[in-house]
Structure 1
Amino acid sequence: MRFTSTPRGARLARRLISHRLNEWGHPYASPANETVTLITAELTANAVRHGHVPGRDFHLRLTETEGSLQVEVTDTRAEKLPSPGIPCPDGESGRGLLLVEALADDWGVAPRPTAPGKTVWAQLRTPAVGRTP
């Protein structure tokens, strides 16, 4: 799905992920739902704060394969690549990717193949409790 590159867009994306995971058999209070929702919150906040290009939206994709959930957030800013760093001890920001790194089983960044921008993705291994075909 596509969302406006605003705090409201990031909030709606996070809520959509939580609802979709619940529909797929990962209840709201389950570790998988809470973890993927938190990862989504961090990635979408970064897309809004660091990947924002006026007039451009960010894209969100959630996939489930046997044994894993993967969330991808794509923005249109290619020159700002995310990397976890050591945040300022008194700072109010700079910890998002450290959380993603701690919570996800794997994560990374890939350039968009057909347009400017990048996709930041995170994967969580979980028991397969997928959608009903």
Structure 2
Amino acid sequence: MNQAFPQVSAPERMFTQLLSSTRRGARLARLLSVTELRFWDAPQDLTERAEFVVGELASNAVLHGRVPGRSFRLTLVFDPAAGRLRIEVTDARGDRYPRIPAMDAELDALHCGGRGLSLVAALVDHWDTAPYPPSGKTVRAVLSTSTPNG
């Protein structure tokens, strides 16, 4: 009896962690992401881009989305068969949504901020925001690799 069996692809992998809305929490989000992606054998290119994206989104959650006494949430969903990673950072400030400065807006050469989301947009396939009731928001970014790992 020669019967072909359907190939089963690797299941999606998911990681979620609540972190303190502090610089230490943002740094820990970045480090945990890299550790988890390496454990999942994610491609190196995807891991390196995700490290920057998580670092920027977590820093923004701490700097712009912080509410005293409230944490932020990091979620990673990796689909190895598709070579796709979704990063979600949820904070407590639903009244402040991120935006990329207009390209024609002059940025002071000595100004330290304002460029992070432009870099995120260049590294990801897609990013957006969604309300997170009752009072927060989630910033989502999707990254993919040209060589699926699975």
Q: Tell me, yes or no, whether TM beats 0.5.
A: yes
Unaligned runs of 5+ in 2: 1-16
1:32-66 CA distances to partner (integer Å, 9 max, x unpaired)? 11100100000000000000000000000000122
Which residue of the partner structure matches residue 103 of structure 1?
123
Distance 1:118 1:70 in 2: 16
Distance 1:77 1:103 in 2: 25
Distance 1:88 1:20 in 2: 37
2:48 matched to 1:43?
A: no
Residue pair 1:24, 1:129 contacting (<8 A) in 2 also: no
Which residue of the partner structure matches residue 17 of structure 1?
33
1:30-109 equivalences under 5 Å are 30-65=44-79, 66-85=82-101, 86=105, 87-109=107-129
Unaligned runs of 5+ in 1: none
Distance 1:80 1:34 in 2: 28
Distance 1:89 1:6 in 2: 27
Tell me the CA shift for residue 96 of structure 1.
Answer: 1.0
1:74-107 CA distances to partner (integer Å, 9 max, x unpaired)? 0010111100115433211111101110100100
Q: Which has the larger radius of gyration?
A: 2
Which residue of the partner structure matches residue 141 of structure 2?
122
Q: How many residues align?
A: 127
Distance 1:12 1:116 in 2: 24
Provide the alpha-carbon RMSD of the alignment: 1.3
